[in-house]
């Protein structure tokens, strides 16, 4: 072992001046003693030979586990290099037995790892012999990615985390599915492989990742080695194993939100039958019918599965108000006994605002984001969306634009509250019309990130920023399904997920026919300025229109580090 005393090393670097200054300061020490006398100067020792092994969980292969022992409580610092790129990993916590996840390896590389240990006094020992670790390349069938822009000096520090779901034209999504983290250059530094597609993934307060699965019945919490640390299932799912916690609700779908209390906020669903229901979104005079309507339910439950609150949207909004796509059969396979359902609202996001104890819900097929009081069920605060087809008394809750420079959200996803209290969301823009007005063709449409300022006292709304419209960028991207827009805390940048870009394979033009189109995604980070400056652009999916396979991204998140 090579041992070194950091204090002595600093003295050697600076020369004799520290000693002279120390002597001068000791004129005021009273007894003339050395102020550092009695400090621990003995560095910790590494006991035995350290080792690093591949992660035993094959779901996360770009990770290793470092094992070593020290003779006293110490923390570990790693210097890692592949000969081209260097990084330092300082672990937190002082202990004698160390079993540590090592993250951030890139595929198909060989790494040299040098180990140091430090005690709380700063005394350090460097291991004489480095460790070596090699990673396999990415698996066959991994989503193809192309970096189109990267300005690390202008980007939010950290990594970008996103799900990747494979679609083949005319077929359902097919496994394997991936949750992937890339660095500022678009290089893969971590991934999790699963047979269940993921619709939402986010880091929660304990440092783990909380995953919403697209089977609409399961939630998983995993650590960064891919190990399941907690899981929950709805009553429509057979118990996966004895560790899964049952929750007495029909479904979990689209998104999950961790509240400050630790409770989880999710979207569930129910069905109700309504007579005299609209049968067409193109002909207002079409005959009415009896219809089974699938309505979303906001559910708050504790980690032990106890339901704390639930709010059926069919009781809060007008079940007879339809938007484009409200008559679709999204829920048919989930409720096969109903013989067909209507996807009335298609809620796709739910978040909690602790400032006023309210909940925000995005309803895609109603083209609305609405806010209600958590402890007063059904007590609306406002409705944010185009004004057509709303009847009294709900029309009284509509927000009114205070500026002529304004465009409404259509079929939106993923609202979030910025530090300024504004609402940032991904405006998919489908049709840019309500029934029974003419739809805007996909070839003329666009999607965008948009930020609104809301004044709940005056019921006014202003558009304060956007990226993606013809007025805000020289590139038009249309993603008619899924997507995300996130404010990034350190730089104020915005990470935008154009998650479901759909292209007609025959014409190469944008298409609203999701199941018959070539799928791809773009993750774009921009500076929050006008005009916005693009600093990162990653394409997921190949460009070959003759290849029917494609990839979409439901959400992306930015992590400050792979480590919690």
Same domain assignment for residues 127 and 170 = no
Q: Is residue 404 part of a domain?
A: yes
Same domain assignment for residues 179 and 103 = no
Query: Which two three-digit tokens encode residue 311?
Result: 């709010």
Same domain assignment for residues 112 and 229 = no
- For 153, the enclosing helix (H) or strand (E) is none
What's 347's domain CATH number?
Answer: 2.120.10.30
- Print the domain residue range for 81: 2-134
Same domain assignment for residues 220 and 123 = no
Query: Which two three-digit tokens encode residue 431?
Result: 């049709």
Do residues 229 and 223 touch, judged by C-beta distance below 8 A? yes
- What pTM was estimated for this model as a whole? 0.92
Number of compact structural domains in the chain: 2
Residues in the chain: 564
Q: Is residue 403 part of a domain?
A: yes
Residue indicated by tokens 């029309």: 395
Do residues 564 and 224 touch, judged by C-beta distance below 8 A? yes
Same domain assignment for residues 127 and 242 = no
Q: Is residue 139 part of a domain?
A: no
Q: Is residue 470 part of a domain?
A: yes
Do residues 442 and 478 touch, judged by C-beta distance below 8 A? yes
Same domain assignment for residues 381 and 482 = yes
pLDDT in tens, the chain (564 residues): 434 433 333 222 333 333 333 333 333 334 445 555 567 789 999 999 999 999 999 999 999 999 999 999 999 999 999 999 999 999 999 999 999 999 999 999 999 999 999 999 999 999 999 999 999 999 999 999 999 999 999 999 999 999 999 999 999 999 999 999 999 999 999 999 999 999 999 999 999 999 999 999 999 999 999 999 999 999 999 998 999 999 999 999 999 999 999 999 999 999 999 999 999 999 999 999 999 999 999 999 999 999 999 999 999 999 999 999 999 999 999 999 999 999 999 999 999 999 999 999 999 999 999 999 999 877 999 999 999 999 999 999 999 999 888 999 999 999 999 999 999 999 999 999 999 999 999 999 999 999 999 999 999 999 999 999 999 998 999 999 999 999 999 999 999 999 999 999 999 999 999 999 999 999 999 999 999 999 999 999 999 999 999 999 999 999 999 999
Q: Is residue 258 part of a domain?
A: yes
pLDDT of residue 13: 30
Same domain assignment for residues 359 and 451 = yes
Final residue in a domain of this structure, among 108, 134, 160: 134
**21 DSSP assignment:** H
**223 DSSP assignment:** -
Q: Give the DSSP letter string of 56-74.
A: S-TTS-SEEEEEEEEEEEE
Do residues 8 and 132 touch, judged by C-beta distance below 8 A? no
pLDDT of residue 251: 98
Q: In this structure, what are the phi and psi dihedrals at residue 444, rounded to the nearest 5 degrees? A: -110, 5
pLDDT of residue 404: 87
């Amino acid at each position: 072992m090579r041992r070194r005393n950091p204090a002595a090393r600093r003295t050697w670097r600076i020369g004799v001046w520290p000693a002279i200054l120390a002597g001068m300061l000791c004129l005021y020490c009273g007894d003339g003693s050395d102020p550092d006398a009695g400090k621990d100067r003995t560095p910790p020792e590494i006991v035995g030979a350290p080792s690093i092994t591949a992660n035993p969980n094959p779901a996360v292969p770009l990770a290793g586990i470092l094992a070593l022992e020290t003779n006293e409580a110490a923390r570990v610092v790693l210097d890692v290099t592949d000969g081209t790129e260097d990084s330092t990993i300082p672990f937190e916590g002082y202990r004698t037995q160390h079993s540590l996840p090592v993250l951030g390896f890139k595929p198909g590389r060989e790494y040299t790892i040098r180990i140091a240990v430090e005690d709380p006094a700063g005394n350090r020992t460097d291991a004489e012999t480095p460790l070596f670790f090699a990673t396999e390349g990415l698996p066959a069938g991994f989503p193809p990615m192309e970096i189109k822009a990267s300005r690390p000096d202008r980007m939010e520090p950290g990594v970008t985390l996103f799900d990747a779901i494979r679609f083949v034209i005319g077929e359902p999504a097919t496994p394997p599915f991936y949750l992937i983290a890339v660095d500022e250059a678009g290089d893969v530094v971590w991934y999790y492989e699963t047979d269940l597609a993921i619709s939402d993934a986010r880091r929660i307060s304990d440092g783990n990742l909380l995953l919403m699965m697209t089977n609409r019945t399961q939630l998983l919490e995993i650590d960064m080695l891919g190990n399941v640390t907690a899981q929950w299932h709805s009553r429509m799912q057979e118990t996966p194993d004895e560790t899964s916690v049952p929750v007495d609700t029909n479904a979990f779908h689209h998104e999950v939100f961790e509240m400050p209390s630790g409770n989880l906020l999710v979207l569930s669903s129910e069905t109700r039958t309504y007579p005299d229901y609209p049968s067409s979104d193109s002909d207002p005079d079409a005959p009415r019918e009896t219809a089974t309507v699938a309505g979303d339910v906001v559910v708050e439950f504790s980690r032990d599965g106890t339901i704390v609150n639930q709010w059926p949207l069919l009781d809060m909004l007008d079940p007879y108000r339809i938007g484009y796509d409200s008559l679709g059969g999204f829920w048919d396979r989930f409720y096969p006994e109903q013989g067909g359902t209507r996807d009335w609202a298609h809620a796709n996001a739910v978040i909690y605002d602790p400032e006023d104890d309210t909940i925000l819900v995005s309803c895609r097929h109603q083209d609305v984001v609405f806010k209600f009081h958590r402890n007063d069920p059904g007590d609306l605060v406002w409705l944010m969306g185009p004004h057509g087809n709303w009847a009294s008394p709900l029309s009284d809750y509509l927000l009114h634009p205070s500026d002529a420079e304004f465009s409404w959200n259509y079929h939106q996803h993923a609202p979030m509250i910025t530090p300024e209290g504004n609402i940032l969301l991904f405006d998919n823009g489908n049709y840019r019309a309500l029934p029974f007005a003419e739809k805007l063709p996909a070839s003329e449409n666009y999607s965008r990130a948009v930020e609104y300022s809301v004044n709940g006292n005056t019921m006014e709304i202003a558009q304060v920023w956007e990226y993606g419209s013809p007025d805000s960028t020289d590139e038009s991207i249309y993603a008619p399904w899924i997507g995300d827009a996130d404010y990034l805390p350190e730089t104020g940048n915005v990470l935008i997920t154009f998650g479901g870009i759909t292209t007609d394979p025959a014409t190469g033009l944008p298409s609203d026919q999701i199941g018959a189109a070539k799928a791809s995604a773009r993750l774009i980070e921009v500076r929050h300025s006008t005009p916005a400056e693009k600093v990162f652009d990653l394409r997921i999916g190949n460009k070959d229109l003759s290849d029917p396979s494609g990839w979409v991204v439901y959400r992306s998140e930015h992590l400050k580090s792979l480590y919690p």
